Amino acid sequence: MKRSKKWLSSALVLSTVAGIAFSTMEFGATPQIAEASSLKIQPAESVSLVQLAVPNTKEAMKKIEELGIDLTHRIHVHNGQIEVDAVVTPSEVAMLKLYGITVKETLITENQLNQRAAERRTAVKQEQKLAAAEETVKILRANHFTNQSDTFLYVEAKSSSGAVSSTILTAKWTENGEEKTATLQQIQDAGEYLYHSFMLPVSAIPTDITIESSLGGSATSKVTEWLGEEKPDKPGEHYVKNFVDHYMDPTEIDARIENLVKEYPELAEIVEMPNKTNGYRRQAQATMGTLQNTAVVVTSRDWGHEGGNAISIELKKASAAGAPLSVGTSGSKIIVTLATDAAGNAKSTAKEVVDLLNAEVSDLVSATTYRGNAGNGIVEPAVSSLSDNLKAPASVSRDPFTVKAIRIGKHRDGSKPGVLGYSQEHAREWVTPLVSVETAERLLRNYSHDKETKKLVDNLDIFIVPSMNPDGGHYSFYDFNSQRKNMTNHCSPTQSDNGYRNSWGVDLNRNHDVGSAFDGYVGASTTNCLSGSYAGPSEHSEPESRNLVWLTDENPNIKFAMNIHSYGGYFMWSPGAYTPERETLPRPSAGEEAYYWQASDHILKEIKKHRGTVILPSRTGPIPDVLYSAAGNSADHLWYKKGIYTWNFEVGADLWNKETKRWELVGFQPPFEEGHEEAMEFSNGLLGMIDVAYQYSKDKKAPKSSVTPNGGRHDEKVEISFKTSEPATIYFTLDGSRPTFDSQKLALNGTREGPETLTFEKTTTVNWFSVDASKNVENRYEPGKNKKYNTKTFFIK
Ligand SMILES: [Zn+2]
């Protein structure tokens, strides 16, 4: 038998593009600035999001890898040049220029990013103001009417705090003695709040109705008959959505899902993950001095908020000549008296001061010279207060954070197929938790009256984790917009001065154990702790990634998952990584791949429904075919270790600019108006996947399969192909033995191609059976128990 391999030529182009992305090469080097100004100490730099033009040379690509450049998920080839979006500092730009890598276009500056944070603060304030004011609820109309199909209840109500979409109005009434409730949909026009409303069929007309608001207001009204001619146009349709109205930090997100559970105790619960994060907290630091050889880096023993921030340090010259170097403390103030020479000049070096601090006040601080410098310059007098540099308000806890999932389902005992959606592995992807929260709200708030929603909640066990990376998330909201990783610093003391504080952390989507950088796969760094895709000190070193493992270990009923990222508008699945020789992790079988495509079609259609967003075919498919290798990503763990069908969303598809005739990026933190649209459309998509899981749970029909041409006599050789009635994996043997689940599976022919064909050059018997995604076996064949497999013999002269 000979397997045909017809690689598409476009696959080669794609792998070339992918090649620049990441590296497993052993670069331990810290990015160093090549100019003479490097003698000065480096403050934490600002960053911008730029499009880099990268010449297609090995040297340029290697440099990107070596510098640990923080690439986004958006990459493409334009006029033979590779263009990739990256988050870079001015010194990185200077460094890249030396290798012919230039900034083609600055897409978003840090100033613009900070504007997003300011907008969000305004929205939060407005919300607090509205919530604090005494709320009133007015019922504008409460009508019943009967048309040719049914009797309906229609209500419009207005809340004085209604401009905030988290204001939830609930209607309560009685039908034939039975208490009924429904959530009202907020109605806006051109961004302006009009009222809330709902319309539902009723079995009996209630005499009155009460509207209660989540903010405490309420109102009751008689229900009267609707006489007018302007009947609402679509009787029976009442689906509520649109529950997110500003970017939410992980603390707000937590409160949101906790409240949902309080409201729907029958349908939802909180799952607390066992591995707490290290916390949104840091030690307090100061770098004293302005030159590298005179600088002294001081770090508190305690966390900043637990005393570190109170420490100050003064370096002062002894008043007498010939005085020795000494140190003393007064409360949390450290006073270093610098030694003087016979002429009364200060003479203590940075190294001497560092050694003294470590010897005498190690209960308060530790000290180092600057980034491994010998520290032989003479220290200048200075005063400095230590700071953890954290700017979040006190309402954001500095303690280790418990990551939470909201679990939704009528039966949450593991008896129903499980579905998992998780977001914000990457801290700066602010839209992604909104997708998760919106989805949870839609499932719960539509349950009582929307049949489709009820069907999903009654038959599935749905887990949603809005923020996998709350520490990094808080840091992104309050300190550094472009934070991608978690906040844990695994760097050595020479890379731990506060100038590096925006570069520490582990990429949680590179810290897993399948196809990892530790196994030699491409797309993460194991050695550069400052790299944008640092994989951590070891596989699963981080509590955040262990939480995902725990959740899926604990709930083996989970069969589908969505790993939600931004931006670029991609929809991808395993394999997610390849080796430097471009050998990918094993491809799914032909049947599994067909199932991925079939389900994707459904999910992408749901996304399109919101505002017509089309996820491009070139951005749909296995990760290495459409993006790049991502060693140790979480989706590969779920697919290869747990057998969970797992997709990766990159929300935020490019927008077409009609005037410039170019696709424009949306970025990690688009203006909220755009972020909101992305949350709505990808919530559609997540619900689409939940629907796929429902179809899976109901699929009891076994697949059927056939081969062409048929068996019998053939001249010379024969090439056969299989057909299945639905996406299904084919297990086959060619030696006459009975096929089993350990037999060979029909594979894909090549990248983005269909199933392989088999070519026989001598007489061969092929025995096979097929199995669909729901594990229904063709013809109820049971290996070892019966003989109901398919068989065909091809006789060749
Ligand atoms: Zn991401």
What would the mean pLDDT of 56-83 be, rounded to a whole number?
75
What is the Å distance from ligand 1's center to 529 Cα? Answer: 18
Alpha helix positions (H), 327-430: 350-360
What is the Å distance from ligand 1's center to 103 Cα? Answer: 22
Q: What percent of the chain has pLDDT over 70?
A: 92
Q: Which of residues 653 and 303 earns the better pLDDT score?
A: 303
Q: Which of residues 124 and 682 earns the better pLDDT score?
A: 682
Question: Residue 167: is its pLDDT beyond 90?
Answer: no
Q: Residue 501: beta bridge partners? A: none
Task: Give dist(CA 43, CA 660) in Å, integer.
Answer: 38
pLDDT-derived band at 70 (thresholds 50, 70, 90) equals: confident
Question: Residue 716: is its pLDDT beyond 90?
Answer: no
Per-residue pLDDT tens digits for 446-480: 999 899 999 999 999 999 999 999 999 999 999 99
| Peptide bond between residue 567 and the one before it cis (omega within 30 degrees of 0) | yes
What would the mean pLDDT of 486-515 be, rounded to a whole number?
97
pLDDT-derived band at 227 (thresholds 50, 70, 90) equals: low
What is the Å distance from ligand 1's center to 70 Cα? Answer: 11
What is the Å distance from ligand 1's center to 565 Cα? Answer: 4
Question: Residue 666: is its pLDDT beyond 70?
Answer: yes
Which residues, 6 or more positions from 106, have their beta carbon under 8 angstroms from its beta carbon?
48, 49, 50
The predicted pLDDT at position 53 comes to: 87
What is the Å distance from ligand 1's center to 421 Cα? Answer: 14
Q: How many CB atoms lie within 10 A of CB 43?
A: 9
What would the mean pLDDT of 342-367 be, rounded to a whole number?
97
Question: Residue 330: is its pLDDT beyond 50?
Answer: yes
Question: Residue 26: is its pLDDT beyond 90?
Answer: no
Q: Which of residues 64 and 537 earns the better pLDDT score?
A: 537
What is the Å distance from ligand 1's center to 650 Cα? Answer: 7
What would the mean pLDDT of 674-694 be, rounded to a whole number?
97
What is the Å distance from ligand 1's center to 73 Cα? Answer: 7
The predicted pLDDT at position 396 comes to: 97
Tokens 């590298």 correspond to 292
Task: Give dist(CA 763, CA 491) in Å, integer.
Answer: 63
What is the Å distance from ligand 1's center to 662 Cα? Answer: 24
CA-to-CA dists, residue 560 to 435, 687, 689, angstroms = 17, 12, 8
What would the mean pLDDT of 775-791 be, rounded to a whole number?
93
Task: Give dist(CA 455, CA 550) in Å, integer.
Answer: 28
Kind and range of the H or E element at 677?
helix 672-698
The predicted pLDDT at position 24 comes to: 30
CA dihedral 683, 689, 691, 692 (to 10 degrees): 170
**Residue in 306, 533, 482 with CA at minimum distance from that of residue 400:** 306
The predicted pLDDT at position 15 comes to: 34
Question: Residue 618: is its pLDDT beyond 70?
Answer: yes
Per-residue pLDDT tens digits for 118-140: 888 888 888 777 777 778 898 88
Residues annotated as catalytic are 650
Alpha helix positions (H), 582-671: 590-611, 623-626, 634-636, 642
What is the Å distance from ligand 1's center to 648 Cα? Answer: 9
- Mean pLDDT value across the chain: 89
CA-to-CA dists, residue 245 to 104, 120, 437, 721, angstroms = 34, 10, 11, 52
Task: Give dist(CA 43, CA 90) in Å, integer.
Answer: 12
What would the mean pLDDT of 702-724 be, rounded to a whole number?
92
pLDDT-derived band at 234 (thresholds 50, 70, 90) equals: low
pLDDT-derived band at 552 (thresholds 50, 70, 90) equals: very high
Task: Give dist(CA 307, CA 284) in Å, integer.
Answer: 9
Question: Residue 7: is its pLDDT beyond 60?
Answer: no
Tokens 């603390």 correspond to 251
What is the Å distance from ligand 1's center to 489 Cα? Answer: 20
Question: Residue 164: is its pLDDT beyond 80?
Answer: no
Whether 684 contacts 606, CB under 8 Å: yes
The predicted pLDDT at position 66 comes to: 76
The predicted pLDDT at position 72 comes to: 80
Kind and range of the H or E element at 192?
strand 192-201
What is the Å distance from ligand 1's center to 242 Cα? Answer: 24
Question: Residue 162: is its pLDDT beyond 50?
Answer: yes
List of long-range contacts for 319-322, beta carbons under 8 Å, 24+ apart: 320/344
* C-alpha 470, offset from chain centre: 12
pLDDT-derived band at 238 (thresholds 50, 70, 90) equals: confident
Question: Residue 619: is its pLDDT beyond 90?
Answer: no
Q: Which of residues 13 and 416 earns the better pLDDT score?
A: 416
Please state which of the ranges 283-292, 512-521, 546-555, 619-628 shows the lowest mean pLDDT. 619-628
Whether 68 contacts 31, CB under 8 Å: yes
Task: Give dist(CA 676, CA 191) in Å, integer.
Answer: 12
